[in-house]
Amino acid sequence: MALFGRKNDSSAPTATVDADPALAALTGAYTIDPSHSTISFTVRHAMVTNVRGTFTEHEGTLHLDGSNPANSTASIDVSIASIDTGAPDRDGHLRSADFFDAGTFPAMTFRSTAAERIDADTYRVTGDLTIKDVTRPLAIDLEFHGSATDVYGNERVGFEGSATILRSDWGLTWNAALETGGVMVSDKVKLGFDISAIKQGPEAA
């Protein structure tokens, strides 16, 4: 999404490109469609396999500026209680104080602070990701999948991207040592964003 920690390994300067005039018509306010969007994560378990999960409840808004992508913004709120890895006991543990402490900190939030167009189909959005009571910067590159009008007459745009963070940067440090060496849960977590958003009007909400 012109959306939504650590910045991807991009210490070298990145050249940006000018906006495509054809994108000007996409300028406007959008609402993320949660029924056609996925916010996911992947984390290594017991050093040998991956556990994948999603947050099934989330909402957000974007303002896209097709003429000047730097003016684009994004805001998203994710319900921690909606975490789903396909294993109820594990989900309960993730909601507990060992991890997210969903009772005390019910939402994970992202608020953009900058946006730029990298190439014809790629945009980089930087912002503040807050988990529990910790806020740190997050930057991800998102591929623009295009726009379309659906069967109900809604104008949609689609973006897909990912970012890798260290959960310890947000205070998620619980772990258990394995008898064979290593730990139960890796520090590194891959976040995934597959976003469909519906245009609401020409101006930001």
DSSP-assigned letter for residue 177: B
- Residue 21 — very low, low, confident or very high, per pLDDT cuts 50/70/90? low
Q: Residue 202's pLDDT is what?
A: 67
Q: Record the pTM.
A: 0.85
Q: Residue 1's pLDDT is what?
A: 37
Residues 114 and 178: their CA atoms lie apart, in Å, by 41
Q: Residue 47's pLDDT is what?
A: 84
Average pLDDT over residues 90-108: 97
Counting Cα atoms < 13 Å in the Cβ hemisphere of 83 gives 24
